[in-house]
Every structure is written in C-alpha cells, then in structure tokens.
C-alpha cells in the first residue's frame, strides 16, 4: 500500500500525538483540516499545564498509529492561543503541514475486529436467476478480505460470492470473493472467511482508510 492520504486519515475529532521534545509527547484533538491550505487546527486541554510549542522554526512530528502502521506527518506551528479557564488552560493551535510524510507499515492488511460496516452477501436464488441478499454480522475486516457470520445458507470452501460493503455515508461498495474457510460457531451461525478476488483499488483504499481511522480511534481511546 502507498502512503495513505493524511487528509483522509486525519479528520476532526481524531486524537493525534505531537512529539514536543524527544522526551515529551502530547495528545491533541483535531478541530479542523483544510487540504487546500495545508493546515490542521488542534486543541489541547483544558488541563493544568499545556505543552510549550515554538512557532515556525521547529519541525514537530504529528503521529497517528496502530498495530497496522504509523503515519508520521511533519508540521510546524503557525499560530497558538492560550485561554485560562476555571477548569484549566485550553491551548488552540494551527499547524502547517510540511513535505515528508512517512508511513511505516507493519502488515500488508491489518484486520479490524467488529468493524463499523454492514456487509451483505449476494448469492444465486435457488428458484430464479435473481440474486438473494443475505444479511451478515461482520466479525473482522481487512483490505484483503473479511470474516462474517451468517444464519442461513449452504456454503463450501471454494465457493464464489458477491458482496456489498456499506460504510457510513457511502453507497455500498461491490466486491467479489472466494470462501477460504467455513466453520460452525457456537451460536449456530456459519463463519465465512472470504478473500476478495475483485475490488476496485479506489474502494480498497477507502476500506483501508476506514480500518486505519477506526483502529486509531480505539487505540487512542476516542
């Protein structure tokens, strides 16, 4: 996978780490992102103490990461505002994104458990030429495949299936896959491990971005 687009990964509400000094890192919350300006606005606090950042001359490393890899984004401080409140100090900052984004990948396709996605199987209808939509329960998802639980159907390893993957606020993404493994769960459902065989690269990139953002959110406790 190529380096992810930081403006896809880093979105409002995401928690990111800033290496303030070699020994100090602070956790900021992203407020706004403007690709055209190459700017990211963040906040820290309210807290009794806030990190001391130096404008312009210092390059800081903004980091978002999880077991799949790390996105390291060099930034410089463009502006900062400190507000003293009864519950602590609130630091508002804006960062200028600099060239040199680094993506440290640890695995080709990390698997996300209980992904925030709705997956429907589309299999041949037994009594017609139409396809039958089978709802599933998504167990894990990666850029190379998915595992789902289904309550009905006769499936065998090697069977080909059509899928529709529905992410939030998007039209369903079509894909084709082959069953690598079929197991019976304690719930009576069938576990289907599916390897994607046909999927547009743009759709795969969207899946990987969703997986990365969700795993980062969980990892940072958001």
Mean pLDDT within 39-68: 83
Q: Is the pTM of this model over 0.85?
A: no
Residue carrying structure tokens 């380096």: 3
pLDDT for position 167: 84
pLDDT for position 124: 72
Instruction: Give which of 101, 35, 93 is closest to 74, Cα–Cα.
Output: 101
Q: CA 17 to CA 62: how far, in whole Å? A: 6
The CATH number assigned to the domain with range 6-106 reads 2.40.10.220
For residues 133 and 212, the model is more confident at 133
Domains 6-106 and 112-213 are alike in CATH topology: yes
Q: CA 35 to CA 73: how far, in whole Å? A: 14
- Give yes or no for a contact between 16 and 219, defined as CB atoms under 8 angstroms apart: no
Mean pLDDT within 89-99: 94
pLDDT for position 156: 87
Mean pLDDT within 19-38: 87
pLDDT over 80 (residue 113): yes
For residues 220 and 164, the model is more confident at 164
Domain ranges of the chain: 6-106, 112-213
145-203: pLDDT as tens digits: 899 999 988 888 888 889 999 987 778 899 988 898 899 998 889 999 998 888 887 78
- From the CB of residue 98, how many other CB atoms can be counted at a distance below 10 Å? 15
3-state secondary structure 66-126: ECCEEEEEEEEEEEEEEEEECCEEEEEEEEEECCCCEEEECCCCCCEECCCCEEEEEEECC
Mean pLDDT within 113-127: 84
Mean pLDDT within 197-213: 81
Average pLDDT of the chain? 84
pLDDT for position 67: 45
CATH assignment of 112-213, among 2.20.25.90, 3.40.50.150, 2.40.10.220, 3.30.9.80: 2.40.10.220
Instruction: Give which of 85, 97, 90 is closest to 32, Cα–Cα.
Output: 97
């Amino acid at each position: 996978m190529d380096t992810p687009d930081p403006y896809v990964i880093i979105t409002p509400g995401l928690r990111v780490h800033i290496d303030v000094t070699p020994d100090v890192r602070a956790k900021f919350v992203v407020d706004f992102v403007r690709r055209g300006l190459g700017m990211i606005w963040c906040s820290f606090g309210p807290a009794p103490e806030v990190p001391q950042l130096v404008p312009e001359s210092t390059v800081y490393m903004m980091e978002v990461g999880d077991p799949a890899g790390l996105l390291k984004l060099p930034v410089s401080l463009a502006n900062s505002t400190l507000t003293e409140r009864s519950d602590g100090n609130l630091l508002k900052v804006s960062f200028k994104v600099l060239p040199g984004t680094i993506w440290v990948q640890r695995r080709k396709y990390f698997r996300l458990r209980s992904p925030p996605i709705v997956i429907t199987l589309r299999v041949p209808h037994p009594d017609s030429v139409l396809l039958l939509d089978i709802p599933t329960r998504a167990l894990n998802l990666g850029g190379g495949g998915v595992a789902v639980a289904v309550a009905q159907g006769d499936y065998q390893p090697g069977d080909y299936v059509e899928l529709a993957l529905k992410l939030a606020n998007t039209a369903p993404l079509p894909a084709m896959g082959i069953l690598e493994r079929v197991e019976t769960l304690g719930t009576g459902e069938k576990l289907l491990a599916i390897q994607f065989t046909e999927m547009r690269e743009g759709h795969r990139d969207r899946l990987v971005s969703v997986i990365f953002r969700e795993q980062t959110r969980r990892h940072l406790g958001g």
